[in-house]
Amino acid sequence: MSKVIGILAGSLRKESFSKKIGNALIAMAPDGFEFKVVSLDDLPIYNQDFDDHNQIPEAYTVFRNEAKALDGFIFITPEYNRSVPAVLKNALDVGSRPYGQSVWDGKPGAVFSNSPGNVSGFGANHHLRQSLVFLNVPVMQQPEVYINKSNELFDEKGVFKDERSRVFLQKAVDAYIVWFTKNA
């Protein structure tokens, strides 16, 4: 039975670089693994009242059940104002509740950050790692995955323009699989 790894892209934009990277990773899954993109598009902002008063939005239930069934996660984040986009932080919050029922607990993760600029989402990468530590997600340490010039990675069909970028991401995926196997 294959291990299923969720890919969470922290951007809602249709032409999101994070979504393009996530879609490219699907083909990089080795035998025995399946990579699956988890949509964050319809998650309402987390409000504890929903859980406390048993008025849980259907989108929360769908997301929590999907994430709970996954074996690990690759988080792909752009950087917004030197931090994590709200949609990705919201997904972490929704999945961490109700208290004691976190979908993230103990599942191996990796953080791939990206930016059209040269800083490569460094701030978002490290902010996301802080949240994942609290959520008890063992996060791959090496290689660190910072992707600069993400706006130049793909052609109009979503195919890598540069073989070096594809090879870099494949090596990162391979390292994650080793990390996953040691920590699952």
DSSP codes, 58-125: HHHHHHHHHHHT-SEEEEEE--BTTB--HHHHHHHHHHT-STT--SSTT--EEEEEEESSTTTTHHHH
Residue spans of the domains in the chain: they are 3-183
Please report the pLDDT score of residue 29 as a whole number.
98
Please report the pLDDT score of residue 119 as a whole number.
85
What is the CA angle 4-5-10, rounded to 5? 145
Query: What distance, in Å, lies between the first and last C-alpha atoms of the chain?
Result: 15
Please report the pLDDT score of residue 161 as a whole number.
92
Q: Which two tokens stand for residue 80?
A: 């917004």
List phi, psi (to 5°) of 98: -65, 160
Please report the pLDDT score of residue 110 as a whole number.
98
> Residue 22's closest CA among 63, 68, 103, 78?
78
Fold of the domain spanning 3-183: Rossmann fold (3.40.50)
Please report the pLDDT score of residue 88 as a whole number.
98
- CB–CB of 75/109 below 8 Å? yes
Name the DSSP class of 161. S
- CB–CB of 24/154 below 8 Å? yes
pTM of the model: 0.96
The whole-number mean pLDDT for each consecutive block of 10 residues of the chain, a chain of 184 residues, reads 96 94 97 98 96 97 98 96 96 97 98 91 95 98 95 90 94 98 95
Please report the pLDDT score of residue 158 as a whole number.
85
- Strands 72-77 and 3-9 turn out to be parallel
